Amino acid sequence: MDADVEVARLAARAAADALLPLRSSGRTGRPLGDAGDAAGQRAIAAVLAAERPGDVVFSEEATDDARRLSADRVWIVDPLDGTREYSAPGRADWAVHVALWVRGELAAAAVALPALGEVHGTDPAPALPARPDGPVRIAVSRTRPPAEAEAVATTLGGRLVPLGSAGYKTLAVVRGEADAYVHSGGMYQWDSAAPVAVARAAGLVTCRLDGSPLVYNGPDPALPDLVVVRPELADEVLAAVRAAR
Ligand SMILES: Nc1ncnc2c1ncn2[C@@H]1O[C@H](COP(=O)(O)O)[C@@H](OP(=O)(O)O)[C@H]1O
Ligand SMILES: [Mg+2]
């Protein structure tokens, strides 16, 4: 197995181990979310500093380090994706994202789903389960479902599955709980880098809403839209998205 994937898994697990007990610390709401963001960041930064001291880290929870724009190796990290859901008792739809970008490509990644006790990585590649019969299930933000996803559901006779966290939704497609994930209207590179790397390893199609490639470690942290879809549905879903735009 690739050594960088092992480091990604180690870092994602360390954050999960810090985040889970915090949830029963008595904090709730925003203070819990803030504490989770900070604890996840500390755990991941410690693992990366110990294991890969020469690499640059680009994280939602750290100041943007300009060295990433000339570096060969950059870790793109979201220590707690779905902060809102993490702060809501009983919800499982939140995630930890750790991706490694090497000279233009996502090279390794892990996504932890701590509430499920799962960590998914790019190697070994996840096995995509068969799609059950029934309407196409499209994962969408539970707080900001995009119009494009509603249009795709109407065109395909599918249904929306509202969930928190870009990582959890992407992994819902990898794990066979959903068939596609459609997002627009805003997001950042760390929200999708690790989940997209894992999705690609599983054989899923990933791209921008206009069909163009998702580009990581660009100067602008924003990467506002994406589609993750099972390969057998990619043409249909992307055509429906195009028609909706
Ligand atoms: N319109 C928008 N602008 C900025 N960030 C957005 C966004 N829509 C979603 N996101 C971010 O993408 C992640 C998943 O969102 P959602 O659960 O709504 O699908 C969340 O990350 P964080 O929880 O790390 O902040 C959220 O902040
Ligand atoms: Mg996020």
pLDDT tens-digit series, residues 173-203: 999 999 999 999 999 999 999 999 999 999 9
Q: How far is the CA of 220 from the centre of ligand 1 (A)?
A: 16
Q: What tokens appear for 165 in the block?
A: 């966290």
Closest ligand, as measured to the CA of 194:
2
Contacts of 107 (CB under 8 A, 6+ apart): 4, 100, 101, 197
> Are 3-121 and 137-244 the same fold in CATH?
no
* Residue type at position 124: P
Q: Which atom of ligand 1 is nearest to the CA of 78?
A: 24
CA 192 to ligand 1 center in whole angstroms: 10
Segment 31-36 shows an average pLDDT of 97
Structure token digits, residue 45: 């930064």
Q: What is the pLDDT of residue 1?
A: 64
Q: Residues 6 or more apart from 70 whose CB is under 8 A from it?
A: none
Asked whether 41 lines ligand 1 (CB < 6 A), one says no
pLDDT-derived band at 245, boundaries 50, 70, 90: confident
Q: Which residues fall in the annotated binding site for Mg(2+)?
A: 60, 78, 80-81, 191
Contact 147, 140 (CB under 8 A): no
Percent of the chain clearing pLDDT 90 (strictly above):
99
Q: Mean per-residue pLDDT for 220-225? A: 98
Angle at 89 between CA 84 and CA 94, to 5 degrees: 45
Phi-psi label, residue 113: left if phi above 0, alpha if psi -120 to 50, beta otherwise: beta
Cβ–Cβ under 8 Å, residues 139 and 81: no
Which atom of ligand 1 is closest in space to residue 60's alpha carbon? 24
pLDDT (0 to 100) of residue 110: 99
Nearest to 213, CA basis, from 203, 222, 198, 225: 225
Mean pLDDT of 16-45: 96
Task: Tell me the pTM.
Answer: 0.98
Residue 67 clears pLDDT 70, i.e. is over it: yes
Residue with tokens 């070994």: 124
Give the ligand at the shortest distance from the Cα of 164.
Answer: 1
Distance 223 CA to ligand 1 centre (A): 11
Token digits of residue 142? 């539970």
- Of 61, 78, 97, 191, the one to substitute when testing ligand 1's pocket (max ligand atoms within 8 A of C-beta) is 191
Distance CA 188, CA 153 (A): 25
- pLDDT, the chain, mean: 97
Q: Is the pLDDT of residue 14 over 80?
A: yes
Q: Is the peptide bond before 146 cis (omega within 30 degrees of 0)?
A: no
pLDDT band at 135; cut points 50, 70, 90: very high
Tell me the CATH number for domain 137-244: 3.40.190.80
Task: Determine the residue of 81, 98, 226 to mutate for testing ligand 1's pocket, defined as the one with the most ligand atoms within 8 A of the Cβ atom.
Answer: 81
Calculate Rg over the CA atoms of the chain.
17
Q: Is the complex ipTM higher than 0.90?
A: yes
Convert the pLDDT of each residue in 153-168 to its tens digit: 999 999 999 999 999 9
3-121 CATH pick, 2.40.100.10, 3.40.50.300, 3.30.540.10, 3.60.150.10: 3.30.540.10
Cβ contacts of 59-65, under 8 Å, gap ≥ 24: 59/190, 60/188, 60/190, 60/191, 61/37, 64/221
- Atom number in ligand 1 closest to CA 81: 24
Ligand 1 pocket mutation pick from 44, 141, 223 by most atoms within 8 angstroms of CB: 141
The ranges assigned to domains in the chain are 3-121, 137-244
CA geometry: angle at 140 spanning 149 and 138, to 5°?
65
Please choose, from the candidates 10, 23, 30, 11, the residue with its C-alpha nearest in 3D space to the C-alpha of residue 79.
11
